[in-house]
């Protein structure tokens, strides 16, 4: 059987922060491919470049050199505005800190990607309520973030990330600030969404137990990424 084409590719990525003589080289010449249907863990110690790599793959940041290609399109060659529009359609991003806007309700936060895509307010809020129900939070639709628990906030952030049904979901330490029970709940939710959608999920985590429940582990090393099957 012919192997599926890569959905997400990075070619010879390099990223450095700061300027000489005070600069931090995050990684150089990093290359990796991910395929549709993959559920992979991205591991490595703090400062190894996990978050930086996810931000480059999502087009949130730009590499110093190298390219990112998503579904056959080179993302790193686009303007920041074009990347933002494209990301809204193709990539869902879940941050370690949920980044929900505290003055808006859960349904309003989840509806924002839809509103940015031109969906009318009434329809966007209706879809947002359905999404919140799908992550087990129908009763929190009208609540603002300060009224919600850490696990509820992260599930709301996941609902926002999948609002446009993107083929790629990137999650940067989504369980890092949660207790064990809520971390398990969030991980199971990501598994469920992956099974239902069949897209690509990349989970950056320090949790070895969670990583070993993914299909494959990519470990950040000083020499790049090392892949291993679970």
CATH of the domain at 181: 3.40.50.300
Range from 68-72, 106-110, 131-135, 217-221 that averages highest in pLDDT: 106-110
Q: Which of 27-31, 216-220, 223-227 has the lowest mean pLDDT?
A: 223-227
CA distance 95 to 175: 10
Per-residue pLDDT tens digits for 119-172: 999 999 999 999 999 888 999 999 999 999 988 998 899 899 989 888 899 999
Q: Greater confidence, 152 or 193?
A: 152
The range of the structural domain enclosing residue 223 comes to 6-229
pLDDT, position 1: 41
Q: Is there a domain that residue 174 lies in?
A: yes
Omega into 21 within 30° of 0, i.e. cis?
A: yes
Instruction: Name the domain count of the chain.
Output: 1
Q: Is there a domain that residue 1 lies in?
A: no
pLDDT, position 159: 92
Q: Greater confidence, 2 or 207?
A: 207
Average pLDDT (31-38) is 90
CA distance 70 to 85: 14
Q: What is the dihedral of CA 117, 204, 101, 143, to 10 degrees?
A: 100
Q: What are phi and psi of 120, to 5 degrees?
A: -60, 155
Q: Is there a domain that residue 21 lies in?
A: yes
Q: Is there a domain that residue 79 lies in?
A: yes
């Amino acid at each position: 059987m012919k192997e599926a084409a890569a959905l997400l590719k990075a070619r010879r990525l390099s990223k450095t922060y700061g300027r000489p003589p005070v600069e931090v080289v995050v990684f150089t010449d990093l290359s990796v491919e991910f395929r549709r249907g993959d559920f992979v863990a991205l591991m490595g110690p703090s400062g190894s470049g996990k978050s930086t790599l996810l931000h480059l793959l999502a087009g949130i940041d730009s590499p110093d050199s190298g390219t990112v290609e998503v579904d056959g399109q080179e993302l790193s060659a686009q303007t920041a505005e074009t990347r933002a529009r494209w990301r809204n359609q193709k990539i869902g991003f879940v941050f370690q800190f949920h980044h929900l806007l505290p003055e808006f309700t859960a349904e309003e936060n989840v509806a924002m990607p839809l509103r940015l895509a031109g969906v009318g307010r009434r329809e966007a809020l209706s879809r947002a309520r359905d999404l919140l129900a799908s992550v087990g939070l129908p009763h929190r639709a009208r609540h603002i973030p300060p009224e919600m628990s850490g696990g509820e906030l992260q599930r709301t952030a996941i609902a926002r990330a999948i609002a446009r049904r993107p083929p790629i979901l990137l999650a940067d330490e989504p369980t890092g600030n949660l207790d064990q029970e809520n971390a398990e709940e969030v991980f199971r939710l990501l598994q469920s969404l992956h099974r239902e959608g069949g897209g690509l999920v990349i989970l950056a985590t320090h949790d070895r137990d969670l990583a070993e429940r993914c299909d494959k582990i990519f470990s950040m090393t000083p020499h790049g990424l090392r892949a291993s099957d679970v």
